[in-house]
Structure 1
Amino acid sequence: MVDPMAAPDEPRDDAESPETVPADAPDEVKADAAAAQGSDEHFHAARLGDDVADHPRKDVPHPKDAAEPDDTIHQPEDVDPDSSAELPGKTQRVDLEGEDAPIDAETTQKKRAALIYNPVKVDPDALRARTAELSAEAGWAEPLFYETTVDDLGDDVTRAALDEKVDAVLVAGGDGTVRAVAEALTSSGVPLTIIPSGTGNLLARNLNLPLSDSDAMIRSTFEGDVLSIDTGIARIRRAGGEIEEHGFSVMAGIGLDAAMIQNTRDDLKKQVGWVAYVDGAARSLVSAKPFRVMYQLDGHRLHSAKVQSVLFANCGALQGGVALIPDASIADGSLDVAVLQPSGVLGWLGVWRSIVWDNSVLRKFRAGRRVLERRKDTSVRYLRGTGIELATAPAQPIELDGDEFGEATRVYTRIVAGGLVVALPKGHDTSSL
Structure 2
Amino acid sequence: MWLLLINPTSGGGRGAKVGAEVARYLVSNSIQYSDISGSSFESARTNLRESLSTTVNGVIAVGGDGMVHLVIQELAEKKVPLLLIPAGTGNDFARVLHLPLDNPSMVLEKALSSAPTHVDLGRVNGTFFAEVLSTGFDSIVNERANRMVRITGKSKYYISMLLELPLFKPKSYKFRMDGSDFECKAMLIAVGNGSSYGGGMKVCPTANMSDGEFEVMILHEVSTLEFLRVFPSVFSGAHVKHPAVKILRGKEIEISADAVAYADGERIGSLPIRAHVVPSALLTWAY
**TM-score range for the pair, normalised by the shorter chain length:** 0.7 to 0.9
SS at 2:68 equivalent: helix
Structure 1: which amino acid aligns with 2:160? Answer: G
| Range with bigger deviation, 281-290 or 340-349 | 340-349
Q: How many Å apart are 1:319 and its aligned residue?
A: 5.4
| Counterpart among 168, 173, 188 of residue 78 in structure 2 | 188
Aligned-partner Cα distance in 1 for 2:120–2:195: 13
User: TM-score scaled to structure 1, two decimals?
Assistant: 0.59
Q: What are the ranges of 5 or more consecutive residues in structure 2 without an aligned counterpart? A: none
Partner of 1:100: none
Q: How many Å apart are 1:382 and its aligned residue?
A: 1.1
Query: 2:134 matched to 1:269?
Result: no
SS at 1:114 equivalent: strand
Aligned-partner Cα distance in 1 for 2:177–2:229: 24
SS at 1:278 equivalent: helix
Whether contact under 8 Å (1:118, 1:148) holds in the other structure is no
Structure 2: which amino acid aligns with 1:359? Answer: A
**Which digits, 9 at most, give the CA deviation of each residue in 1:136-187, with x for residues without a partner?**
1xxx4x2111114445174333222211221211101221111110221111
Query: 2:116 matched to 1:253?
Result: no
Going from structure 1 to structure 2, the CA distance change for 1:416 and 1:201 (only over 3 Å counts) comes to: same
| Counterpart among 308, 316, 325 of residue 195 in structure 2 | 316
Partner of 1:403: 266
Alignment root-mean-square deviation, CA: 2.5
Aligned-partner Cα distance in 2 for 1:181–1:417: 17
Aligned-partner Cα distance in 2 for 1:252–1:114: 28
| Counterpart among 217, 221, 224 of residue 342 in structure 1 | 221
Aligned-partner Cα distance in 1 for 2:108–2:149: 29
Query: 2:72 matched to 1:178?
Result: no
Going from structure 1 to structure 2, the CA distance change for 1:401 and 1:153 (only over 3 Å counts) comes to: farther
Whether contact under 8 Å (2:204, 2:237) holds in the other structure is no
Q: What percentage of aligned pairs have identical amino acids?
A: 24
Aligned-partner Cα distance in 2 for 1:175–1:278: 18
Which structure features the higher share of strand residues? Answer: 2
Whether contact under 8 Å (1:325, 1:359) holds in the other structure is no
Query: 2:78 matched to 1:197?
Result: no
Partner of 1:113: 2
Whether contact under 8 Å (2:187, 2:222) holds in the other structure is no
Partner of 1:390: 255
Partner of 1:280: 160
Whether contact under 8 Å (2:132, 2:197) holds in the other structure is no
Q: What is the correspondence of 1:139-150 to structure 2 with a 5 Å cutoff?
A: 140=31, 142-150=32-40
Q: What are the ranges of 5 or more consecutive residues in structure 1 without an aligned counterpart? A: 1-111, 236-244, 364-371, 429-433
Whether contact under 8 Å (2:190, 2:204) holds in the other structure is no
Aligned-partner Cα distance in 1 for 2:192–2:140: 17
User: TM-score scaled to structure 2, two decimals?
Assistant: 0.87
